[in-house]
A and B are shown apart, each in its own frame.
Chain A
């Protein structure tokens, strides 16, 4: 179980770091366009999210890999991935032909992206679950660390 949780948090952490890198290495306006295409936020909120979310993903990725505040970071990862997944599912269901915006430009929402994000979501929930539920009288933080 220890190795499973370690692999899971490093994998999730790497995904968040990569997601942050793809956004921070280009103009924030490109990410703003990806968010805006979902048509769920007003322009001012799109700007706030586009400017801050990549930094949040960066911190989350580092926290998951380092195993610092694992309970909170895993819960946050599960929450944020839930939001992403619901938004992607909604857009796909409505037939909106837009980019996922997950890892930069040029990746339309498709069954493939939904399966990938769904798998990440399951992984994040598993990590959060095992982080919060003590195993063998020891905190999950210690086990995972």
Chain B
């Protein structure tokens, strides 16, 4: 795997870093984090707007951590799947972060009304919205969502957000949303 990654052209890795979104950082980073999140979950919003931003600034943007966002929908969240499909569609045009930010910021509105599309349309350009709408109906987008759900089921995750930290074949599922000890733990892993 590492041999393969070394052979990947540098510009491709750079593109991944710049592109951001569902996958952030460089895949060859020593620590990998899988974030399982539900757009309709209030704890996920807290995590997204606080700890995740600090984590990205300190570790992902500095290429120390490779972050993968898994957008899942808990059974009790009626509109989480729709929101996830919009985010995954946005990912394909490089707008994942922007859409995720809007969805979490306006969670109180669309999670009651179900108007995910209208909420996003207020902030995004009509051109972007038409691309996202088209991609939402695409089988590829649905397959991405199904893959994330299957992955969450495989890991037997029953709560969101769940952060799975991986380092040297060891896996650490974490449910603490605070950055205080997570930051120290990541620093400890990276010092090994």
Contacts and interface: CB of A to CB of B under 8 A. Distances in A.
A33 B160 contact: no
Interface in A22-50: 27, 29-30, 32-34, 36-37, 43, 46
Contact of B175 (A29, A32, A97, A110): A97
Interface string B7-25: 0000000000000000000
Interface in B158-184: 158-160, 172-178, 180-182, 184
Interface centre among B180, B181, B188, by most A CB within 10 Å?
A: B181
A16 B143 CA distance: 45
Contacts of B178: 33, 36-37
B140 interface: no
A79 to B, nearest CB: 25
Given A29-B188, A97-B160, A108 B175 contact: yes
Interface in A82-102: 97-99
B185 A29 contact: yes
A105 interface: yes
A134 interface: no
